Structure 1
Amino acid sequence: MFTETVPPLYPLFADLRGRSVLVVGGGAVARRKAEALLQAGARVIVNAPALEPDLAAWAGNGRITHRAGRFRREWLRGAWLAIAATDDPAVNREVAEAAEAQRVWVNVVDDVELSRFQVPARVERGPLQIAVSSGGGAPMLARLVRERLEAQFDESFGALATLLARRRARIRARWPDIGARRRAFARLLAGPLQGLLRRRRHLEAERLLEAELRTGDDGGSAATGSVALVGAGPGDPGLLTLRALRVLNEADVILHDRLVSAEVLALARRDAERITVGKQAGGDRHTTQARIHALMVEHARAGKRVVRLKGGDPFVFGRGGEELESLRAHGIDYEVVPGITAALACAAYAGVPLTHRDHAQSARLVTAHCKASLDTLDWAALAQERQTLAVYMGVAMLDTLRARLLAHGRDPRTPFALVENGSRPEQRVITGTLRELPALAERHAVRAPALLILGEVAAFAQSLHWFGAAPLGTAVAGGSPGVLDEAA
């Protein structure tokens, strides 16, 4: 059992506007402390024989007051706080003892024993502040917690705090009973208000709050639901955006595709209801698109925060547009959180640049999950050189792909890279030429999910690979686009 070595601190937010604070020290640490105090509106007095450049500039333009020379006890008179930030332990101790004698709260940087208050690690979102302290005993741990909180609270919290603060008197008048006020706040915060602020629709957010203040009930009615279309990326949970992570932690219901990795789902709110809505050709379990639309509407109308979680990006072969059309038709509030699509992620994790000034001036994203989709493509354009094709859902159609491209003039020696389970621990990369594409895929038993990258840049997979095992299949001599080595 650990014994307590750091005393518990009483948390306090101080209003320092117009109040004097003495900072002893003229280096980089003193400058950081002075800057934070200035942001809080304090009158900052810096005591040091010499100042670093920023502090000197601030003293020159009147932002701070500089008292040159060695620390003198009388300079603490009238100060509300003092900070000792010198590199001389004797001076720091002198400041601490003088402040203690004059009943001035003092912080000595990196010295818990001499400090009478600690400066916390902070997350700032406008008027909303979250302070984290380890009591001065483990500042790096406090910073780590702060970094994690930074990922959880986006800028909309600052806008929300500002909006609610401006309406505070009216909110209290509208719901004088504290219980009713709490219920009203719960409904407001679970509804679309913050989503509007997050999408920079501030005027609509103000109108919504005004409507609640005029006509809202006592706070007991059900919250209005919403849907977020979220891109889960290719599988590596480290590729989720911060916004995706925040939304997953706010979700009541998650409708997810079968390609969403277990590692990504593990980051979601633990008590959220998870519903698999995967579509798989020939599979036993298949959720129709119409059923997905119905589930989104059903749960949103029940007041739930719904996340429609899709592998890759919702708007790249993900039917995100169809789902938004359905939500809009039913009057459901929605937002879209982009994800890293398979073409970008698989190429990056295979070491293949999709564009290259010497080899590919454009990249095309193509879906090839069935013959009907292949028949709609412009094969003459796709067969042109000096471009990259990223083919989604094409594993079952590799024979047809090769035949069409060769028939329209694509060089049979064009390099390819097949990336199976891109960005995941089990990733495999198969390389070779267009001529041998189906045979190599069959030899190595390539299975979905796999992305085909075809074009001169695919040859870089041999020389630039960095993630997982080295590529299988045939290689390019020299490890870059050029003459192909036909040895299997």
Structure 2
Amino acid sequence: MDFLPLGLKLTGQTVVIVGGGDTALRKAGLLHRSGAVIRLIAPQWRTDLCALVEQGGGDCRQRVYQEGDLDQARLVVACTDDDALNQRIAGQCHARGLPVNVVGRPELSSFVFPALVDRNPLFVAITSSGASPVLVRRLRDQLEAWLPARWGRLATFLGRLRESVAARLPGRRQREAFWEAQLDGPLMEQVLSGHESEAEHALERALAGIDGNPAAARGEVYLVGAGPGDPDLLTFRGHHLLTKADVVLYDRLVAPEIVALARADAEKVYVGKARDQHALPQGEINDLLVHYASQGKRVCRLKGGDPFIFGRGGEELENVVAAGIDFQVVPGVTAAAGCAAYAGIPLTHRDHAQSVRFVTGHRRDGSVDLDWPNLMAEQETLVFYMGLVGLKEICAQLMAHGRAPDTPIALVSRGTTDAQEVITGQLDSLPAALEGRTVHAPTLIIVGSVVSLHPRYRWFGEAGRSTPDA
């Protein structure tokens, strides 16, 4: 490697920056956060740059660079527009044995600034040794999105308890094994979800087990919304818990690409349900969550869409709560939001709808017996889940109770996937237009003036195709 990544303590140390532009401001911001005292040299500079330097107790010298500016410096950063000057600064620093970074010129530099993912006190540094800054930024952005914001809190929590654990476990290997076990257990998830007191109790139980009073193995249940179909709509927290699970229970609405994100050694159990075709009855699914968690396993129940919006998530948690098993619920992008966005249909719009209502189009007994009089507001968008079989009845009842026959309606089939199809029409014509036509589930029905905005608001990367005016 061309540069060895190191952590350097700069608190109270003088760092020289030669240059007063945008690059100097970026480097000064990073050095300021590290506690360095900055000495800024430039004939002119950004006002906010000088203010930042002075805020950290540094000084601003508004003149051309002189070699004496390097005196008592710990590091030097050269970021002027004058390449000859940057080379001269680098040569003088090398002669003094003083670390120098010439921005954009790694061959002249003795150190480089890595891109940082900051979860203070936890940091991830990324560098290409100056070969490809754009690639480094891209990787940093991906890690920023993947690494939960609360990992800094987790690092602080663990650091606060290091001494007490070390007193109980004097052997280094024993301590490492203990902490590895904790990071694979409930302690980590409790801190990341903001429940630090529960995490401390979990730690005490673990220490009690080491002291000869082992606590019973405790499993967990993660109820995770997998989104409406597109694997990219899985949340980062959902992905995090999925990759921790020992057992994954998933249904037919979960994309195979999402299931594939689980650990290779995780047990994967299909519990999918199509209309009137259940792989497992709902009661058995509820029991399975308790069954696996009672064995001390981490169980991820992957559900299409959002678990608490027509996902029967509340039902599945009943047995878990009754058994006293720890659980987490991770919301997902519900079908109404995901499918409408991918179809280019805003659910609310100042000129069309001031509210939106989610309605089940399929009762437990298979009927479509709804509170129709309360679904008549013209300025409200209606979204029917599981309404394909009852589409004709839904349209008829809406018109019978006052909705205009020419009210726009859209049916979104296999929304957010590559096979998405959007079929638009009116209440009085759409059911007849679909007779004899194969429409694939899952489907979502959107009723209201906002449907008229399709396909104008359809984004250029929309999956699938549209069939207007069915």
Which residue in 2 is equivalent to 1:479?
Answer: none
Segments ≥4 residues shifted beyond 4 Å? 59-62, 210-223, 373-376
Choose the corresponding residue for 1:115, options 109, 113, 119.
Answer: 109
**Structure-1 residue corresponding to 2:408:** 415
> For residue 458 of structure 2, what is the aligned residue in structure 1?
465
Counterpart residue number, 2:87: 93
Show the counterpart of 1:482: none
2:395 maps to which of 383, 386, 402: 402
Q: Which residue of 2 aligns with 1:445?
A: 438
Q: Distance in 1 between matches of 2:449 and 2:10?
A: 63
1:390 to 383, 388, 401: 383
- Separation in structure 2 between the aligned mates of residue 30 and residue 358 of structure 1, nearest angstrom: 47
CA distance in 1, matches of 2:352, 2:372: 20
Checking the alignment, whether the CA contact within 8 Å between 1:368 and 1:393 is kept in structure 2 is yes
- The 1:303–1:44 alpha-carbon spacing in structure 2 relative to 1, beyond 3 Å, is farther
Provide the C-alpha distance between the structure 1 equivalents of 2:155 and 2:213, rounded to a whole number of angstroms: 19
Within the candidate set 327, 332, 339, 2:325 is matched to 332
Partner of 1:359: 352
- Residue 311 of structure 1 and its aligned partner are, at CA, apart by 0.8
Shift of 1:78: 1.7
Select the residue among 306, 312, 322 that pairs with 2:305: 312
**Alpha-carbon shift at residue 407 of structure 1 (Å):** 2.7
User: Which residues in structure 2 correspond to 1:34-433 (within 5 Å)?
Assistant: 34-59=28-53, 61=55, 63-210=57-204, 212-213=206-207, 216-217=210-211, 224-283=218-277, 286-370=279-363, 372=365, 374=367, 377-433=370-426
Aligned to 1:416, the other structure's residue is in SS state strand
CA contact (8 A) 1:255 1:275 kept: yes
- Are 1:351 and 1:461, in contact at CA under 8 Å, matched by a contact in 2? yes
Counterpart contact for 2:28–2:53, Cα < 8 Å: no
Task: Answer whether contact 2:420 2:465 (CA < 8 A) is retained.
Answer: no
- Is the Cα contact below 8 Å between 2:42 and 2:64 reproduced in 1? yes
Deviations 1:394-420 (A, max 9, x none): 111122223322332322222210000
DSSP 3-state at the match of 2:128? coil
Partner-residue secondary structure (3-state), 2:428: helix
The one-letter code sitting in structure 2 at the alignment partner of 1:471 is S
CA 1:20–1:158 in structure 2 vs 1: closer, same or farther (change >3 Å)?
same
Give the SS at the match of 2:429. helix
How much has 1:443 moved relative to structure 2?
A: 3.9
Q: Describe the shift of the 1:351–1:375 C-alpha distance in structure 2 as closer, same or farther (beyond 3 A).
A: closer
Find the aligned partners of 1:371 and 1:276 in 2 and give their Cα distance.
22
1: CA distance, partners of 2:265 / 2:258: 15
Distance in 2 of aligned mates of 1:462 and 1:135 = 47
Q: Distance in 1 between matches of 2:53 and 2:386?
A: 64
Residue 24 (structure 2) pairs with residue 23 (structure 1): no
Identity %: 46
TM-score, structure 1 normalization: 0.89
Distance 1:149-1:370 versus aligned 2 partners, 3 A rule: same
Distance 1:324 1:440 in 2: 41
Contact 2:205/2:215 (<8 A) preserved: no
State how far apart, in whole Å, the 1-side matches of 2:75 and 2:157 are. Answer: 31
Partner-residue secondary structure (3-state), 2:438 = coil
Deviates further, 290-299 or 311-320: 290-299
Aligned to 1:481: none
CA offsets 1:8-52 (integer angstroms, 9 cap, x no match): 432210111111111111111111111111111112111212221
Inter-partner Cα distance in structure 1 for 2:5 and 2:264:
30
What residue identity is the alignment partner of 1:256? Y
Cα distance change on mapping 1:222 and 1:460 into 2, 3 Å: same
TM superposition shift of 1:312:
0.8
* Farther off after superposition, 192-201 or 464-473: 464-473
Counterpart amino acid of residue 296 in structure 2: G
Local SS of the residue matching 2:435: helix
Long gaps (5+) in structure 2: none
